[in-house]
Amino acid sequence: MLLAEHLNYTARGQAIPKYRADGEYDPYKRTEAAIDIENAIAVDGPIPYSQFMDLSLAGPHGYYSTGVVRISEEKSFDFTTYPEFNNSFGPTLGLAAARVWEELGCPEDFPLVEMGAGRGTLALRMLDWIAVHNPEFYAHISYKIVDFPGMAAKQRKTLESHGGKVMWYEGSALELPDEVKGIEGMFLSNELPDAFPVEVVKTENGQVLQKYIGAEHGKFVEIWKPASQDVRNHISEFDVAVPDKEITVNLNAVRFQHQVSSSLRRGLILTIDYGEDCKHYDGYIGSMRTFSENGKVLPASLAYEKPREVDMTANIDFYPLMQTARAYGGKVVLFDQPNFFLASGIEDVLPSMQNPEHENDVTRNGYAFKVLTIRHDLDSFKFNGGLRQTFNLNLSPANDIGMFRFSNSSPEESDDVFLESIRDSSLVQVQQLGKGEWEFIQFPSGPNEYHAFIEDLAGRTIVQYKPFKVLYDFRKKEDVERLLSDSGISGIDIDALLEGKPFI
């Protein structure tokens, strides 16, 4: 049965017969999405995994596009998200949005665009809080949601109390409407790119292979082929290390970043999701998984049995998004989620919460989540903690501090500051230029794995980078010599350094 026939049945309000692509009655009673997938395979042969995932989630009968997804519903659900169970999540983002509005000069119209808005809970809690605590800002917000029709229907019910404040643009965030292009305002998404269709790859006998999906005897099967040119280009451009086990590459996340970065003339982009900057932190991005049955993490293969009936997701490698954003002039900082909320002023929000201790959970947990912040033409805007300033390293002649270096992508921006190497057991002070505030970086947590913390004067952790890739092994003299040469440092007694004696 062809896809057009399925749509005709739907339009007439009739049940769709369960037919396979070969026209025979399907005793397996496959989902409509499964039949869509079989039809695609019948026409084109084995299809890329991304196409299988797209038809399962976002196709005519998809999990998200039709709204069958169950997010934090009372009786049963597939998964939940932070805005659903943490009441301070939305208000803190509202506080950040207000600061962007003020930085832009308090314009009459402030577009706040949320892409992939779930049930609308994040928007509801953000707008509820702003309406009470900053009514002047509320009056100037134009809240715009880009999402599939099935999700928009749920969101309209959730956001009834905000009437004409919210506008919907039905469709995919991968194809932003003209109405949200060229804006001065804010783009926001929470757990969106992890649901974009991905490719699955691995290395075998020195060759990068890509997963395709075929159909045999009423079942979907995996077929491995040499990676396509698009996938090879992505791997090359973003220096993706492809191991001998399966990982995902998210070409659509890069496409999404192009869309959003090119649409923001001035303002802030916030992308919240689980993942890591795999380029700098030796992260393993992992492969696919599914969610269902009240939040259980289930094998990715379940999607072959139940297309459209389970969530499909993969961790995000933020490095390609960060590089893409920089190409548009964006100033990029990647936070752990708890530290972003501290830096964004959650402590100013908590007093208004009925249970502040519970709502502060977002600052204690959730380190698997990252917040990618991208600023466009916001020269004086910074998150609490002063991350905009270039850091100046103050070396002590005492032996209680090891040799280290920061890597900054630009001279005027502490953009993605990350530690590349550090000697064991040291405490280092870093002074922020122009502010006179001392911030501290403390490490390590274990051999060859180091964590750093940047704190403000009140001792609050603002940014936590973990773990760091060690480029120099300080037990090896040749590595120490190479670091000193690379850093242009002279006058160091290397033998004394290695023996733990005063070295300057």
Give the CATH number, domain containing residue 368. 3.40.50.12710
User: Are 36 and 59 in contact, with CB atoms under 8 Å apart?
Assistant: yes
33 in a structural domain: no
Neighbours of 331 (CB within 10 A): 25
Looking at residue 411, its pLDDT comes to 31
Q: At residue 97, what are phi and psi to the nearest 5 degrees? A: -60, -40
Looking at residue 15, its pLDDT comes to 42
Same domain, 261 and 159: yes
Same domain, 145 and 256: yes
45 in a structural domain: no
DSSP string spanning 181-195?
A: SSEEEEEEEES-GGG
Which region, left, alpha or beta, applies to residue 471 given φ > 0 means left and ψ of -120 to 50 means alpha? Answer: alpha
Looking at residue 285, its pLDDT comes to 64
What tens digit of pLDDT does each residue of 457-490 get? Answer: 333 344 443 333 444 555 567 766 776 676 566 6
The tally of domains found in the chain comes to 2
Alpha carbon 176 to its chain centroid, in Å, reads 18
Classified as helix, coil or strand, 111 is strand
Looking at residue 331, its pLDDT comes to 86
Same domain, 356 and 458: no
Looking at residue 71, its pLDDT comes to 82
CA distance 330 to 320: 13
Q: What is the pTM of this model?
A: 0.74
**What b/e string do you get for 407-421 counting C-beta neighbours within 10 Å, with b at 16 or more?**
eeeeeebbbbbbbbb
Q: Which of 66, 71, 67, 70 is nearest to 36 (CA)?
A: 66
The domain boundary residue, chosen from 313, 341, 376? 376
Residues of the chain with pLDDT under 50: 1-28, 385-471
Same domain, 260 and 329: yes
Looking at residue 432, its pLDDT comes to 35
Structural domain harbouring 336:
82-193+250-285+322-376
Looking at residue 2, its pLDDT comes to 35
Q: Which of 471, 435, 438, 469 is nearest to 454 (CA)?
A: 438
Same domain, 444 and 349: no
Same domain, 338 and 479: no
117 in a structural domain: yes
Instruction: Name the residue with tokens 């548009």.
Output: 328
* Amino acid present at 340: F
Looking at residue 284, its pLDDT comes to 56
* Residues contacting residue 386 through CB under 8 Å, at least 6 positions apart: 432, 435, 437, 439, 456
Q: Which of 118, 117, 15 is nearest to 61 (CA)?
A: 15
Classified as helix, coil or strand, 220 is strand
Same domain, 476 and 416: yes
298 in a structural domain: no
* Amino acid present at 266: R
- State whether the Cα torsion 203-209-211-214 is positive or negative: negative
CA distance 117 to 343: 23
What tens digit of pLDDT does each residue of 304-339 get? Answer: 888 888 888 999 999 999 999 999 999 887 887 877
The domain boundary residue, chosen from 351, 376, 401? 376
CA distance 264 to 184: 6
Same domain, 414 and 471: yes
385 in a structural domain: no
User: Are 71 and 119 in contact, with CB atoms under 8 Å apart?
Assistant: yes
Same domain, 400 and 272: no
Q: At residue 296, what are phi and psi to the nearest 5 degrees? A: -70, 135
Same domain, 418 and 452: yes
Same domain, 329 and 471: no
Looking at residue 198, its pLDDT comes to 96
